[in-house]
Amino acid sequence: PSLEYEFTRRRIQTNIGEIWNFFSSELGKVRKAVAAGHGNADLEESINQVLLQGAEHKRSLLSDMERLRQSDGYESWRHKEARDLSDLVQRRLHHLQNPSDCQNARKLVCKLNKGCGYGCQLHHVVYCFIVAYATERTLILKSRGWRYHKGGWEEVFQPVSNSCHDAGTANTYNWPGKPNTQVLVLPIIDSLMPRPPYLPLAVPEDLAPRLKRLHGDPIVWWVGQFLKYLLRPQTTTRDFLVSGMRNLGWERPIVGVHVRRTDKVGTEAACHSVEEYMTHVEDYYRTLEVNGSSVARRIFLASDDAQVIDEARRKYPQYQIIGDPEVARMASVSTRYTDTALNGIILDIHLLSMSDHLVCTFSSQVCRVAYEIMQTLYPDAAHRFKSLDDIYYYGGQNAHNRRVVIAHKPRTHEDLQLRVGDLVSVAGNHWDGNSKGKNTRTNQVGLFPSFKVEEKVDAAKLPLYPGV
């Protein structure tokens, strides 16, 4: 297929969601105003009917887009292209990590133990690995005394190298080092100075044209490839995952729901009710059922708050709710950094990533990691999520720009003025048809209709690994 075709197909799919977000949010406001005013029951009922029927229209359209993709004749190409691209990147990573002369190889030292949670630490290692790839240095992962498992990374996942584990002592400098520095030590991304252009959200220039055609969000695919390499399990971890799935009674189709509570709520994210997550789950299943079939309701529910699982089971008896309150109990702050809790979070992220669809808050790195891994399981799983808060981001990322494709005249003083071709640095999506951002031409900050922009994929010149 042409880039134009794939791009347009995905754009329609996204904007079906956007137009529905817009209408349902606006009609919701009208309904509220009617109820607050003189309470016209007939009018309220009419609005309800429009909302119900409109939702069905939307589900039918989304279902048709899914059918279009499956039947347009390009689906086998998508699978092959995804496999080829992934194989290429995995071979490059293997090559980078297994230099023929370890002693003299250029190396990048990364310390796993960033003072944060498992998802945050994985993102830290991925960032190190991206820098290693970009500078053609073998990644040396220091993980002894890891807060989740004192014995270190290699007892849980396969070592990042089969042959080159030791940084040695020669010629070691902190970032950015000197051109001839053999061993370079990398700080956390937040203190990286100077910042290279290849940090997320950039993808490698040599792969960019293929990725833009294949995937709805190339950076998520790119991050997913590093996780694919990193998270190759040790035998004990693999056995644990297999038995964990069996004990839980894992089955598809299934929607993965992640509810992040406890220490996150009120500090870094707002609390969302179980009902809010479940509304989106129900909508997903109704889309599957739009042509009259009937699909068993099933979710995999992961949380750091065990009560959430009990609450969901009590309120949604028509759902099979797969999840383990004991795992959630271990995820609370006081018991989080233990072997048992580590097994729990590895299993939870694994199962979230294997779900057909994700409903969660992208403010949590747990769900973002699951979403990234999910991209390694489908040619393009960019649309298989509903985030209740943030759009996808990578902590410490460079600017996230979208290009204006439809001009915009401000509707209110809150709105941005947009000219075709402007770059908007996006801050977030309000999921009501509008996004917030800064027009980089005018420096104005404000709202704009989400459908008037498109993603500008950042490409960075990176080594080509010609021998691989």
Q: How far is the CB of 185 from ligand GDP (least distance, A)?
A: 23
Q: How far is the CB of 388 from ligand GDP (least distance, A)?
A: 13
Return d(Cα 31, Cα 52) in angstroms, integer: 13
Q: Are 366 and 374 in contact (CB under 8 A)?
A: no
Find the radius of gyration of the CA atoms of the chain. 23
Nearest residue (CB) to ligand GDP, 336 versus 402: 336
| Site for ligand GDP contains 365 (CB under 6 A) | yes
Nearest residue (CB) to ligand GDP, 122 versus 134: 122
| Site for ligand GDP contains 114 (CB under 6 A) | no
Nearest residue (CB) to ligand GDP, 105 versus 281: 281
Please return the burial class of 35, using the count of CB atoms within 10 Å of its CB with bins 0-12, 13-18 and 19+: middle
Return d(Cα 69, Cα 384) in angstroms, integer: 14
Nearest residue to ligand GDP, by Cβ distance, number only: 117
CA nearest neighbour of 133 among 66, 72, 205 = 205
Residues 240-259 that bind ligand GDP (CB under 6 A): 258
Q: Determine the size of the site formed for ligand GDP (CB under 6 A).
A: 21
Helix and strand numbers (H, E) in the chain are 12, 16
Q: How far is the CB of 203 from ligand GDP (least distance, A)?
A: 23
CA 414 vs CA 21, 24, 162, 349, 448: distances in Å:
19, 20, 56, 38, 9
Nearest residue (CB) to ligand GDP, 327 versus 447: 327
Nearest residue (CB) to ligand GDP, 10 versus 111: 111
Return the DSSP state at 288.
Answer: H
Among 50, 120, 290, 391, indicate the residue that binds ligand GDP (CB under 6 A).
120
Cα of first residue to Cα of last residue in the chain, in angstroms, is 27
Stretch that binds ligand GDP, among 177-185, 188-196, 242-250, 339-347 (CB under 6 A): 339-347
Return d(Cα 230, Cα 159) in angstroms, integer: 8
Return d(Cα 266, Cα 271) in angstroms, integer: 7
Stretch that binds ligand GDP, among 74-82, 177-185, 229-237, 340-348 (CB under 6 A): 340-348
| Site for ligand GDP contains 327 (CB under 6 A) | yes
Omega before 194 within 30 of 0, i.e. cis: yes
Stretch that binds ligand GDP, among 74-82, 117-125, 183-191, 452-460 (CB under 6 A): 117-125
Among 132, 203, 331, 359, indicate the residue that binds ligand GDP (CB under 6 A).
331
Residues 295-324 that bind ligand GDP (CB under 6 A): 302-304
Omega before 233 within 30 of 0, i.e. cis: no
Nearest residue (CB) to ligand GDP, 46 versus 340: 340
| Site for ligand GDP contains 348 (CB under 6 A) | yes
Return d(Cα 52, Cα 276) in angstroms, integer: 17
Among 62, 254, 345, 373, indicate the residue that binds ligand GDP (CB under 6 A).
345
Q: Where do contacts with ligand GDP occur on this chain (CB under 6 A)?
A: 116-120, 258, 260, 264, 302-304, 327, 331, 336, 341, 344-345, 348, 364-366
